Amino acid sequence: MREIIFDTETTGLDPRTGDRMVEIGCVEMINRIATGRTFHAYFNPGRSMPAEAEAVHGLSEAFLADKPPFAERVAELLEFLADSPLVAHNASFDFGFLDAELGICGHPPVCRSRMIDTVALARVRHPGSKLSLDALCSRYGIDRSHRTLHGALLDAELLAQVYVELCGGRQIGLELVSETVAVFEGPRELLPRERPFRAPRPHSASAEELAAHLAFLNSVDTPIWSN
């Protein structure tokens, strides 16, 4: 199953008041394993960057000045997203900005049936606990020491690890992944011994066995199965 974990950075909190998306980061996962394929882009929002927003993600007007508008990268983004489920933390926020940018370009909004919200998953799994991405990384022992500011691709990569844990960890459904090779580093004498192949024997009873069984049944006095 293919899923896309994504995150956005914006100029503010509400696209309905003119706030715009300035960064998106997407991570592809298949069967809850990151494939290494990503999509990452910065966008010129065509408006000023409030100091409060810049303090969160560090993206200044000067940095974004030579970046393309969302419309120039929308085709690449939609190709990458395809029709896969989309996973985000507090997903309604990211979907709201994604839909707003798509609407400006004349594209329809993303169907909400594709939305998976990791905040909602965490609320069910850890009721009453802190649900921020930082808090969940701490809970699951995910290293975020390199995260000094919010960044869409970095946050999507961290969220991908959190999402796997929220879904049960690496042994989801006890699936075996053929590409994963375990390396044994202990003493050789502890390695499992090779055993010769033995073809499975037939398990149906032979004629002699059936006859012996019938003779035994006939020898039983007042059997309960005859009542």
Sign for the pseudo-dihedral over CA of 25, 97, 59, 151: negative
pLDDT at 12: 96
29 and 5 in contact (C-beta within 8 Å)? yes
Quote the tokens at residue 4: 């896309």
126 is known as an active-site residue: no
- As to burial, measured by CB atoms within 10 angstroms (0-12 exposed, 13-18 middle, 19+ buried), residue 78 is middle
- On whether the pTM is more than 0.85, the answer is no
Catalytic choice (57, 107, 150, 213): 150
Max Cα-Cα span within the chain: 99
pLDDT at 227: 64
pLDDT tens series, the chain, 227 aa:
999 999 999 999 999 999 999 999 999 999 999 999 999 999 999 999 999 999 999 999 999 999 999 999 999 999 999 999 999 999 999 999 999 999 999 999 999 999 999 999 999 999 999 999 999 999 999 998 877 678 899 999 999 999 999 998 865 444 444 444 444 445 555 555 566 777 766 667 778 888 888 888 888 887 776 76
3-state secondary structure of 9: strand
18 and 100 in contact (C-beta within 8 Å)? no
pLDDT at 177: 44
pLDDT at 199: 72
Helix and strand totals (H; E) in the chain: 8, 5
pLDDT at 174: 45
3-state secondary structure of 198: coil
Between β-strands 86-88 and 33-42, what pairing exists: parallel, antiparallel or unpaired?
unpaired
Question: How many Å apart are CA 44 and CA 64, to the nearest integer?
Answer: 5
Query: Alpha helix locations (H) across 21-175?
Result: 51-57, 61-64, 70-81, 91-104, 118-125, 133-140, 152-166
- Whole-angstrom CA distances from 204 to 198, 200, 210, 214 are 18, 12, 10, 15
Closest by CA to 32, choosing from 175, 140, 155, 131, is 175
CATH 3.40.47.10 fits 2-174, yes or no: no
Q: Where are the domains of the chain?
A: 2-174
